[in-house]
Structure formats: structure tokens, C-alpha cells
Structure 1
């Protein structure tokens, strides 16, 4: 009799667990540099048969590197335009993406401070957007020793819209290398 009472509970727990697993992020990332922080952990989801990644990052720059420590949030969308397999390795040689970035702190305002006349700055240091190109190599590394499906290594080269606009007309004083941000990272997929 008690076994019959437990059967619906087991079924309910299983369905409930399945629903919760849908909410879990599809991957975790750790990125070094790339314009979002010195070191930036992130979580995200994949869509459209793993052709689109949407990632939320927390960026951190320690005080030992900057004048003050910097904290930021970044949302990135990465489109994996094409891929090819090399054995167990999946290569995404050309990824294209964009990001929106928010930096916390009074030095990184979003609304123009009152000491400046209206329209003095057309941009906000606290809120930025930009684009990037990159690539990724997805492996089965750690797949047989952990619950993960695999590990990916990626790179990106990008720039903020402000930097790209600033380059125009200032080619004599700014170089392309002045506006590019290079980043590297690792992702663990479930």
C-alpha cells in the first residue's frame, strides 16, 4: 500500500526536476580581458541548435590594475555562423557578436552630470555597446570525468561603438590597435 502512495510522488519529483533543469544555464564561462573586465565569470544559454549563445558576465578589474576596482555587467549575443568537425573537436572559426555593457560607480555615469551643459557628451561611460569577432574550439575535455558535455576555448577581438566613432577623423592620433579589445575564455557546457 505504501508503495502505491509513493508512485505519484516519484513521478511528480521527476517532472519537477525536469522543469528546473530547463532553467539551469547551458554553460558557464570564464573570460580574461576582452573589454568586460580583467576576469569575468558568466552564465548563458544556447539557442537555434547551438548557433546563438546569450551570456551574462560579471566583470571585475582589481584595484591593483586600475586606479579603483571596477565592477560591471555585460550581456553578449554570439552568433556561430558556421562550424566543422575534426574528430571529436567542433570548430567555430568565425563568430560574430555584439554586447551591451554597464559599469558601476560614480565615475561611470549613465545620465549626464549637472556640471556639464546639455549635449556636452553624446555618450555615457557607464553604458556602452559594441561588436566583436572571434572563434571557438569545443572539445570533449572533462566530459568523461564531470557532468559536463565538454569544454570550449574561445577568443574574441572587438571594439565599442564609442571607440569606432572616435577613430573616424582621428586616424592621425588613434591607431586601430588603440580601439581593439582582445579577450580569451573557457566555457564548460552541460
Structure 2
């Protein structure tokens, strides 16, 4: 671990924040598993390697900045038109970005070792705050990790099509890769 103590600015210049979705339902073969990137976000990590509970993390993302990067599976390949339609549905039907333009995370505690640790905090989506845990690990001067977000816990109805035959799984995975040099 080569991380310096202190405040570290995070964001799209050097870091990545991705959302991975899966599909379910009778029509699951018709849909795609997606990798969606949050393209406008910023954050701050306060790191104290000698006292992990003294560390903290805040992140704020523009809900309307999610862009489809990859779609796997499905009967046919994902087209640019499909990507635009998915992004529109995310903004208008899932995240309601006109009313809730920001997604935010604020840590409430850190536990574990520098090699493997958890960041507990409150995630606010569509104006609703719920606790979530980030599973993290250091990789040199970078932190990589994941969190599972169960959409229904935030009052989000997972997207569906074809009269409910094709549904997005309730659980989505958030992945991050951030530098703390």
C-alpha cells in the first residue's frame, strides 16, 4: 500500500465509477447486461492509514451523466440507438433526474485493514437515503471496490419491458477504481 495520509480529490479525470446491471424474467435472453459509466462525479477521501475509523469518503454524482459503455448478451448486439434509449429511460423513468439531479454518498464509518476494508455510509438516490457498504481493497496507490445497490430499497422499480417479460435485476453492482496518490 502506497497511500499518503490526508485529503485526496476524486473524480472523472483519473478515476472510474461504473454500474453493472443484469436481467431477469422470461424475456431475459432478449435484453443485455450493461456496463454504465458515471461520467460526471467528484469526491473526497480523507485517509488515515494508521487509524482507519478516522478516514472518511464523500462522493457526489450527476444522475443525468450515466452513459452505456457496454452491453453483453441479448439476441442482437446493442446499437447506438439502443444506448440512447436506455440512457433516456435511466434519466426519465428510473432516476427521475429532473427532480433528483444528484446521487450522493457520505461515509459513516470505516473498518478493516489497509489491505481489505469496508466503508459504511448513506447513499442518496432519487431523494432517498439508505445505508450501503463498500467492499474495498488497496492496489498500490489505488482503491478498487464494489457495492451492491438493491434498487427497491430506494423506492426504485427496476426497469422492465415487453409487459414485464424482460426486467432489470433489482440488484445492481457499483464498481469503482480511484487513485489516492
In the superposition, the TM-score normalised over structure 2's length comes to: 0.50
User: Going by fraction, where is strand more abundant, 1 or 2?
Assistant: 2
Larger Cα-atom Rg = 1
In the superposition, the TM-score normalised over structure 1's length comes to: 0.48
